[in-house]
Amino acid sequence: MQDNLTWWRGGVIYQIYPRSFMDRNGDGIGDLPGITEKLDYVAGLGVDGIWVSPFFTSPMHDFGYDVSDYRDVDPMFGTLDDFKALLARAHALGLKVMIDQVISHSSDQHPWFQESRADRTNAKADWYVWADPKPDGTPPNNWLSIFGGAAWTFDSRRRQYYLHNFLTSQPDLNFHHPAVRQAQLDNLRFWLELGVDGFRLDTVNFYFHDRELRDNPPVPAGEAKTLGAPDANPYTWQRHVYDLSRPENLDFLRELRSLMDEFPGTTTVGEIGDDEPLARMAEYTAGGDKLHMAYGFDLLNEPHSPAYIRQVIERFQRLAGDAWPCWALSNHDVVRSATRWGAGEDPVAYPKVALAMLLSLRGSVCLYQGEELGLPEAEVPYERLQDPYGKVLWPEFKGRDGCRTPMPWTDGPDAGFSRAEPWLPVSEQHVPLAVSRQLDDGDSVLNATRRLLAFRQAHPALVDGELSLVDVGEELLGFIREKDEETLLCVFNFGGETRSTTLPRSGIPLQGHGFAAALDGDTLTLPAYQAAYFKLDR
């Protein structure tokens, strides 16, 4: 275990999507008391903390990622007292609590924007990104919204366009304005003083824009599109040089770190969507004066071969220095990994070996609710679709609802999530994978997750040791984790066929992780979907 000040370094953080975790008041939507009710389950997994996705006051056009009051709880989820009760219970169980912070943009219902849009001379006139039309009335430049169309919307009051990287109802704040930066730091301070242990920072590289509003260049023909957006989205057709990841952001991240340092033991993890995500992760977390951790979409996209994972690790290792990553295979924005990576593979065995790999990487880990059950992506019919992103790009892209359906607690009505019809339908595929079904099954994904988390905590090298890749053949992934007197070799077989390899160094097989392998001299035979761990001589 890490000490209380550096718990996050190598920590495992369980992500909770409040709308879909547990409904306590019976309205079909998850809430804060529902989360509190299930914290014993979360603590029983063996994780270090939780990350709670947005629960702030919001018109919910983007399900809480459009905040209209940064310091209060939306009545849909409960009250500020309910959050305080959640915080107290989590801390009593030894769980740290991180909360989402969406400070790059607000809702258009936020009082700041209502004042800003009134005219060009009010006190908050420059708190958002406003620009005059071109002479022909078109938007100021070619920047695009991730959710489709131009990133600019015309406002008749000011006769100007305002910038929104997401929905038109999510105007971007102008971080070039010192008062905006200070206001958002004050909002963060509010939650720190309340006792939270850190923040997951939404779109952390979107805070600043190019002052000159220069056009983004196109992606050259034949070059890869690396942003975490579907190919059907024209947003991926540009190199995002001027609308995000601007150099001024580094100074703000230092201001943010100074605030966090006033509250020892707190932490930050930033979400990065960028053309060069690993380079940005390294830049934003290096030096100990900006973010504590960051994650990109390199393990949240389609490729999953051993060769691809090696490439991601190699690239980050080259760039990292003292930077610290946070890895995830699933979250509320992408197709669940059991489907995205595991389609066509064994639905029980594959999620286990994927989790073993995730929990063995150098870095911290985010574990998305239901991932410990091996949940596949749910099919949500168009008439039940809620996600505005999916509605725009349907059917080539079905949106994010398939990874946001209710958590299956039991095999009873609506999977024990609610007494009312849930806001998204419970997947029939998920009911047999309910927590109640898996608890007493020693071979379940749930119990495999518990074993792996306990195994990780028992080996300091897996928590925050160094990592070096080793050659175990093209069909396997292998690396060494090393800290102090402990050196471990980790080998993974993601495929459905038995594979053999020669160990690069002799070692003693470790137990307690739940996987099976055969060792004959230096020859390791690894059955389908298995992992092996060895303690190596120094």
Say whether both 344 and 232 belong to one domain.
yes
Q: For residue 233, is it within any domain? A: yes
Domain span holding position 283 = 12-106+177-453
Say whether both 392 and 507 belong to one domain.
no
Find the range with the poorest average confidence among 118-127, 223-232, 335-344: 223-232
CB-CB contact of 449 with 368 (8 Å): no
For residue 512, the domain's CATH number is 2.60.40.1180
pLDDT more than 90, % of the chain: 91
Say whether both 426 and 517 belong to one domain.
no
* Cis preceding linkage at 139, omega within 30: no
Please tell me whether residue 162 adopts helix, strand or coil conformation: strand
pLDDT more than 70, % of the chain: 98
- The catalytic residues are 202, 262
Q: Quick one: DSSP state of residue 290?
A: S
Say whether both 35 and 98 belong to one domain.
yes
**Per-residue model confidence as pLDDT tens digits over 137-153:** 999 999 999 988 999 99
Say whether both 350 and 382 belong to one domain.
yes
CB-CB contact of 256 with 268 (8 Å): yes
Say whether both 317 and 445 belong to one domain.
yes
What integer pLDDT is reported at residue 227 of this predicted model?
Answer: 66
| Residue 303 pLDDT greater than 50, yes or no | yes
**Per-residue model confidence as pLDDT tens digits over 444-475:** 999 999 999 999 999 999 999 999 999 999 99
Q: Quick one: DSSP state of residue 161?
A: E
| Residue 1 pLDDT greater than 80, yes or no | no
Out of 425, 453, 481, a domain closes at 453
Question: Exposed (0-12), middle (13-18) or buried (19+): which is 523, by Cβ within 10 Å?
Answer: exposed
**Per-residue model confidence as pLDDT tens digits over 491-517:** 999 999 999 999 998 899 999 999 999
Please tell me whether residue 335 adopts helix, strand or coil conformation: coil
CB-CB contact of 175 with 255 (8 Å): no
**Per-residue model confidence as pLDDT tens digits over 394-409:** 777 788 999 999 999 9
Say whether both 422 and 487 belong to one domain.
no
- Give the total number of structural domains in the chain: 2
| Residue 176 pLDDT greater than 70, yes or no | yes
CB-CB contact of 405 with 19 (8 Å): no
Q: For residue 117, is it within any domain? A: no
pLDDT band at 226 (very low <50, low <70, confident <90, very high): low
CB-CB contact of 438 with 455 (8 Å): no
Kindly report the average pLDDT of the chain as a whole number. Answer: 95
Say whether both 492 and 366 belong to one domain.
no
**Per-residue model confidence as pLDDT tens digits over 37-63:** 999 999 999 999 999 999 999 999 999
Higher pLDDT, 390 or 220: 220
Q: For residue 142, is it within any domain? A: no
Out of 398, 419, 453, a domain closes at 453
pTM score, whole prediction? 0.96
The values of phi and psi at residue 461, to 5°, are -60, -30
Q: Which amino acid is at 244?
A: L
Q: For residue 264, is it within any domain? A: yes
Pairing of strands 477-483, 56-57: unpaired
Q: Write the CB contacts of 68 (distance below 8 Å, at least 6 apart in sequence).
A: 56, 57, 58, 59, 106, 107, 109, 110, 111
| Residue 225 pLDDT greater than 70, yes or no | no
| Residue 2 pLDDT greater than 60, yes or no | no
Please tell me whether residue 61 adopts helix, strand or coil conformation: coil
Q: Quick one: DSSP state of residue 224?
A: P
Q: Which residue has the tokens 């911290």?
A: 364
Buried b / exposed e along 446-480 (16+ C-beta atoms within 10 A): bbbbbbbbebbbebbbbbbbebeebebeebbbbbb
Q: For residue 120, is it within any domain? A: no
Q: Please, what is the end-to-end C-alpha distance for the chain in angstroms? A: 22
Out of 430, 453, 476, a domain closes at 453
Question: Exposed (0-12), middle (13-18) or buried (19+): which is 373, by Cβ within 10 Å?
Answer: buried
Q: For residue 114, is it within any domain? A: no
| C-alpha distances in Å from residue 201, one per residue of 104, 261, 343, 425, 529 | 9, 16, 31, 29, 34
Distance CA 149, CA 147 (A): 7
Q: Which residue has the tokens 């920047």?
A: 143
Beta bridge partners of 5: none
Say whether both 195 and 272 belong to one domain.
yes
What integer pLDDT is reported at residue 444 of this predicted model?
Answer: 98
Q: Which of 310, 318, 269 is nearest to 100 (CA)?
A: 269
**Per-residue model confidence as pLDDT tens digits over 75-96:** 999 999 999 999 999 999 999 9
Say whether both 427 and 501 belong to one domain.
no
Q: For residue 137, is it within any domain? A: no
pLDDT band at 476 (very low <50, low <70, confident <90, very high): very high
What integer pLDDT is reported at residue 537 of this predicted model?
Answer: 81
**Per-residue model confidence as pLDDT tens digits over 412-454:** 999 999 999 999 999 999 999 999 999 999 999 999 999 999 9
Q: Quick one: DSSP state of residue 379?
A: P
Token pair of 385 as six digits: 């679709």
Say whether both 437 and 499 belong to one domain.
no
| Residue 389 pLDDT greater than 60, yes or no | yes
